[in-house]
A and B are shown apart, each in its own frame.
Chain A
Amino acid sequence: MIVQFRNTLRNPRQRTQLESAASGVLILGGLAARYLFGATLAHNGLMAAAALIAGADIAMRAWNSLRNRHISIELLVTIATVGALAIGEFWEAAAVTFLFVFGAYLEARTLSRTRKVLGELLDLAPVTALVLRDGQQVEVAPHEVAVGEIVLIKPGARVPVDGEVVAGASAVDESSITGEPIPEEKFAGLPVFAGTVNLDGMLQARATGVGADTTLARIIARVEEAQEEKAPTQRFIERFARWYTPAIILLSAAVYAITRDIELALTLLVIACPGALVISTPVSIIAGIGQAARRGILIKGGEYLENAARISALALDKTGTITYGKPRLTEIFVLQPSRIGLPEEVNSSVSFNSTRWTVEQAEILYWAGIAESVSEHPLARAIYNEARTLTALPTPDTFETFTGKGIQARFMGHEISVGTEKWLKEQSVAIEPGVESALLTLREEGKTATLVSLDSMLMGILGISDPIRETSAETIKRLAHSGIREVVMLTGDDEKTAWAIARQAGIKNVKANLLPEDKLKIIRELQSKGHTVAMVGDGINDTPALAAADIGIAMGAAGAGLAIETADVALMSDDLLKVPEAIRLSKATLRNIRQNVAIALITVGALLSGVLLGEVHMAGGMLVHQLSVLIVIFNGMRLLREGSGA
């Protein structure tokens, strides 16, 4: 019991809690003694006891600092308290010490909550890893796993390292990394990240990154650096505080010299401490950057946050940003009026399972899929992947690929050709005049047209597009709402394709046929027009433009370690809607900083003039001062609320 009590006293937080409670009770007792029973002597005794209990700790800390040649706020409070007790102001002494200790306790508790996002990230760090060594499962610390080793991840377990799935399938909750609430389906070939949670299946993954070389470790390092990085406003306030504190000391010395009122001079010293002002900016920055990190948005630091809030023009790369960057089969034109059918030998055993395509379209796709099953070309993959959803595909008996033109394959005595219009003409496949209009339609929609023939008869046209993200149009709309006046799409593609995509996204300004250095030039042009320019790209191909922009935003950074470290704003997921969200959060944070600075300045100004006019005394002044600090902290914490629009 005594040991336990001593331990409680040794822990600063528990000690201040205890002291606040004890001195609070004594103050209440003192007030009761005076106003209920008129016992002035008891009142003074209880108040003095309250001041001593709360003040002893303050005095001790003041002494510790003084020994290290540091003049602390505790020293000023101690002098003020001793002074108040000496002149018989017991109530003042009790109130000031109580408010100081209790206020500091409340501030520590609330401020630690604004720091909790970092704590959440630290808690994600996996504790153990299950490794396969010589066919045995061995449990080791995650940093002891060697790159290339196979780790086993059980259902419910945290992924211990960054790796690539080699066996098994499972849903993995990646919200801690990407901010996306919906679990990702993982199977062989896909990456997994340390700190994410395996939900339902058993996974085996080959370690690709361990310890400090994991996405989670990079995020933690990034968030920590970002929160420490001083925003311009914070640097300004610190410069301000550097001359403010000596100025206050001089002012109170002058006040004492003129009025010979030691109480007034001490009150001035204690009250004018710029507590709310110096934490006004850090509190908002910690909360703003923390909340963004929680939503999969890594902002490099306070300066970038203030810049992001001022963005007026935004340039987006087309491929992989507005579009998915993965070509997909979207259209099948049927050119034969009658059914072409299937090879006789398989006709009875194949049944198509498609709600997307008609039977005629499915048959064209089936034939094309057989030929493309042997090609690695991205367009061929797009056709094959779609055909595979119909039914199992056989492999062709023989095939020949023509680079940049197409593929020709034989299957059960039939000849299948899939390729460009020009190439099929060369194969003397008849292209009727009516076909031209279908080709034009596809191209005007920004799609690649691929023709399919069977035994030298044209059967149909496949339209392949790199589809626009479902969220692109909504993103552009939200950007306009958040005050971005100019949105430009940049692409190396031709005008026709580019405009087709831009129209779907609602983008009015397109720069096509660009080389990487042209993108840079366009960013510079926008800047010379007075814009604060943001560039959104995939972080790999757009590096010069991203670097030239005032804010470089990299998408899909979870899989690209370098992007996390270099981008001004790194979006962990591939969700384009995170761009307006990042801008909104930045604006909210900047607004929050301004509110806090205003609250702090008004409070200090009001208190100073109140004290000098003799309207504010030490206890009341201390109360207002402590309240202003708490208000500033609570205001900053609003940024941490889910879906914060603060």
Chain B
Amino acid sequence: MIMRVVIRTDRLSKYYGKGGAVKAVDELNLEVYEGETFGLLGPNGAGKTTTVRLLNCIIKPTGGTATVNGYDIVKNENGVKRFTGLLAESPGLYEKLSAKEFLEFIGALYDVPSDVLRERIDDLLKLFALYDRRDDLLEGYSRGMKQKVLIAAALVHDPPILFLDEPTSSLDPRAALMVKDLIKKLADTAGKTIFICSHILPVVEELCDRIGIINQGRLVAVGTVKEIIAETKTRTLEEAFMAMTGGVEEKELLAWREHRAANA
């Protein structure tokens, strides 16, 4: 079966500073297929959020091109934005709005017809178990509940492609589990293409069909978890990740500590 590519990047780059001294994203070539859950894995500062911002037309590339659902991210921003939903890494909520009001606000930004919007908000709040607290102001929500509202906000215009930037990084284990279950449900039952950015390996390992490892702006590996482990001749994704992102230094550091302990 030929799978349709919904996200394609061709030498996509974002450089900052004089002469492009800081290479946030460096000649990224990537393909994400329709209906798959793709994970972009990388250490902090590797270029994950920059990639997501580029693909959502929030910032402009300094080189290369990309298409999302067939729309060019530079030439047809609104085309891209109508088909994508974004859960940003640290998004701002209007804390003096209730969950229902916030979702109405987001729906209005995407021009969702009001009758459709009302129904969809109710469905999303029920799905995320927030319906009973729909009129509570967001300032009274826990972090996990706020994250659920933000995921609901990313879904309120029913986009076929969903970008989730560090969806569980600031959550406690219970809330993280809840969010992971939600993402699974969305992938399995709603058939969305999901693009997850994270530095938390188990999240990516558990949720994603394929992953890409990005380090210092460059994509260093793409494939299924098994393929990446095999490629790096390691035993676990953690080891593969360390091998590809400079984990050797960390091993050396640990070895030094072990050496010191042995001498003590």
A and B interact physically: no
Chain B residues packing against A (C-beta within 8 Å): none
Chain A residues packing against B (C-beta within 8 Å): none
